[in-house]
């Protein structure tokens, strides 16, 4: 059997700040990423999303490229500062962009899969405290309801938050992402409010749902592989898996925050525990229809002799372990390529969640691509995507209920702190001319999508 289940969604993903550009058009307000990118030394080569892929204007061409490849779904995110320039007041001209985008998708028979938050918080809300402030979670639920009001007649697939791990730990912990705060106690509080925002938004959307609407969030996972099997090795893997994966997954599944992780992070000052109010874990456990699983690579971990020694990995609660260098062959980003970890990850989530439907909402790799005679022979990305699609198929055969696969990304785009130096697209973008060139990987994934089966 090489087929995928009937109705399996094949698509590609983008995120508003990474592709749209048009940062002052249609009344859009500034986001934390505009501010961060404008700050000296934060983004490689001083790059920003000011123009990016100019998707704000070129979306008809981009939707045409996606549909032309044979992909049936587009996962995009809505920019909160377009829809609410000050974070609180709806803007009809901002909403109008997503109206046009959704209509374009539907006219090409592409299923819209809408993410409400992919990291571009309105700057006004950051100024009012950002995600470390509990109020932001309530503002997020209001924003979610506004978008749902406007697009709920045409969009069935809704994702609240993309990767609260990154928004919290990179944004407020290591500070390599906007808003660039470096404080782990604050980052843990931000993580809780992102999850709370997911729960509040899911509640709001569920109350006004129409038949066919499905709700979800997308978590990024990094399976931990220990370089040995001693108790110390297992303990290192437990800690890494705890803060990276279970800390976000378990509360969403209604299990609350894992006790072992709570103990691991206790030395960060305790504001996190105090921020979790009565009833919050019930809100976060709001029923979802599927979980978005974002997977790129595993992490190799090794124990340190001193269990309290600081880790080389900048995550809250990590002491007594180091993350080892990735095992080649590496992507341009230096990430490893280990499809078997995706199979085991999907199986593990499936078991832990009691069979929750899963969608691989992001999977992909950056490589150095070259346009030659109007083609991009990205054989390394073809191999990455092919092997990972096979890994998803293996997980389905083993019993996981996986309903879709989205490549990251449709287009080469603004890769956050790395600027334009990392290309993840199925479609190459020349950032001087905005010329798009379909890569071999896009053609390959499109063929898989059209046959809904593994290539023979
Ligand atoms: C996704 O996050 C984002 O959703 C997307 O916007 C982004 O463009 C895409 O990835 C590509 O980066 O330093 O080797 O330990 C992915 C989450 C978190 C995965 C950080 C890699 C570091 C790996 N990433 N993680 S490593």
Residue 1 pLDDT level (bands cut at 50, 70, 90): confident
CATH class of 9-451: alpha beta
Instruction: Give every CB contact of residue 89 below 8 A, 6+ residues apart in sequence.
Output: none
Q: 290: Cβ–Cβ under 8 A, 6 or more apart, which residues?
A: 214, 216, 356, 357, 358, 359, 403
Q: Kindly state the DSSP code that residue 320 receives in the 8-state scheme.
A: S
**CB count, 10 Å around CB of 232?**
17
Q: Where are the domains of the chain?
A: 9-451
**What is the per-residue pLDDT across 194-239, written as a single tens digit (0 to 9) for each?**
999 999 999 999 999 999 999 999 999 999 999 999 999 999 999 9
pLDDT range class, residue 50, cuts 50, 70, 90:
very high
- 31 pLDDT tier (thresholds 50, 70, 90): very high
- How many A from CA of 229 to the centre of ligand 1? 27
Q: Identify which of 238, 281, 276, 288 has the alpha carbon closest to the alpha carbon of residue 256.
A: 281
302-359 confidence digits (pLDDT tens):
999 999 999 999 999 999 999 999 999 999 999 999 999 999 999 999 999 999 999 9
Catalytic residue among 126, 163, 336, 415: 163
Q: Is 362 a catalytic residue?
A: yes
The closest of 423, 404, 445, 437 to 18, measured between CA atoms, is 423
Provide the edge-to-edge strand list for the sheet that holds 321-323. Answer: 224-226, 299-303, 321-323
Nearest to 294 by CA among 358, 251, 201, 382: 358
pLDDT in tens, 379-429: 999 999 999 999 999 999 999 999 999 999 999 999 999 999 999 999 999
pLDDT at 132: 98
Check residue 270 and give its pLDDT. 87
Write down the pLDDT at residue 269.
86
Cα 3 to Cα 120: distance, rounded to the nearest angstrom:
38
Mean pLDDT over each residue of the chain, to the nearest integer = 98
CB neighbour list of residue 451: distance below 8 Å, 6 or more residues apart: none
The backbone torsions φ and ψ at residue 179, rounded to the nearest 5 degrees and listed phi first, read: -90, 10
Pick from 119, 163, 300 the residue to mutate for probing ligand 1's pocket: most ligand atoms within 8 Å of its CB: 163
Q: State the average pLDDT over residues 424-437.
A: 98
Q: Ligand 1: residues whose CB is within 6 Å? A: 15, 18, 162-163, 166, 220, 294, 296, 299, 335, 362, 408, 415, 424
pLDDT at 456 over 90: no
Q: Whose CA is nearest to atom 19 of ligand 1?
A: 296
Q: pTM above the 0.90 mark?
A: yes
Which of 362, 363, 425 has most ligand 1 atoms within 8 Å of CB, for mutation?
Answer: 362
Distance from residue 362's CA to the centre of ligand 1 (Å): 10
Judged against a pLDDT cut of 90, whether residue 435 lies above it is answered with yes
């Amino acid at each position: 059997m090489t087929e995928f289940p009937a109705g399996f969604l094949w698509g590609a993903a983008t995120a508003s700040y990474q592709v749209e550009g048009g940062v002052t058009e249609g009344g859009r307000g500034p986001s934390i990423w505009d501010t961060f990118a404008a700050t000296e030394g934060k983004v490689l080569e001083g790059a920003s999303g000011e123009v990016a892929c100019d998707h704000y204007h070129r979306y008809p061409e981009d939707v045409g490229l996606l549909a032309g490849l044979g992909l049936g779904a587009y996962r995009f995110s809505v920019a909160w500062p377009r829809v609410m320039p000050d974070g609180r007041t709806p803007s009809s001209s901002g909403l109008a962009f997503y109206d046009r985008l959704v209509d374009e998708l539907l006219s090409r028979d592409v299923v819209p899969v809408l993410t409400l938050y992919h990291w571009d918080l309105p700057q006004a809300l950051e100024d009012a405290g950002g995600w470390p402030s509990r109020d932001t979670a309530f503002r997020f639920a209001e924003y979610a309801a506004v978008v749902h009001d406007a697009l709920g007649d045409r969009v069935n697939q809704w994702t609240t938050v993309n990767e609260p791990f990154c928004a919290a730990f990179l944004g407020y912990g290591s500070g390599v992402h906007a808003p660039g705060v470096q404080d782990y106690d604050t980052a843990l509080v931000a993580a809780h409010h992102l999850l709370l925002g997911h729960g509040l938004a899911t509640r709001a959307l569920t109350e006004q749902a129409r038949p066919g609407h499905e709700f979800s969030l997308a978590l990024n996972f990094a399976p931990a592989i220990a370089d040995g099997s001693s108790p110390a090795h297992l303990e290192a893997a437990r800690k890494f898996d705890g803060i990276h994966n279970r800390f976000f997954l378990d509360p969403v599944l209604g299990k609350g925050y894992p006790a072992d992780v709570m103990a691991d992070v206790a030395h960060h000052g305790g504001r996190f525990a105090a921020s979790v109010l009565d009833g919050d874990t019930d809100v976060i456990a709001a029923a979802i229809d599927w979980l978005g699983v974002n997977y790129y690579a595993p992490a190799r971990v090794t124990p340190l002799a001193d269990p309290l020694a600081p880790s080389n990995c900048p995550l809250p609660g990590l002491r007594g372990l180091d993350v080892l260098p990735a095992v080649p062959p590496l992507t341009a980003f230096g990430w490893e390529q280990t499809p078997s970890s995706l199979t085991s990850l999907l199986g593990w989530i499936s078991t832990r969640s009691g069979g929750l439907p899963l969608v691989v909402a992001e999977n992909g790799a950056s490589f150095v691509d070259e346009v030659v005679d109007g083609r991009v022979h990205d054989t390394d990305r073809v191999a990455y995507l092919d092997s990972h699609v096979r890994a998803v198929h293996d997980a389905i055969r083993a019993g996981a209920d996986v309903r879709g696969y989205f490549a990251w990304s449709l287009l080469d785009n603004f890769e956050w702190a790395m600027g334009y130096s990392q290309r993840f697209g199925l479609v190459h973008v020349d950032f001087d001319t905005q010329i798009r060139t379909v890569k071999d990987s896009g053609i390959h994934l499109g063929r898989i999508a059209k046959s809904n089966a593994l290539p023979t």
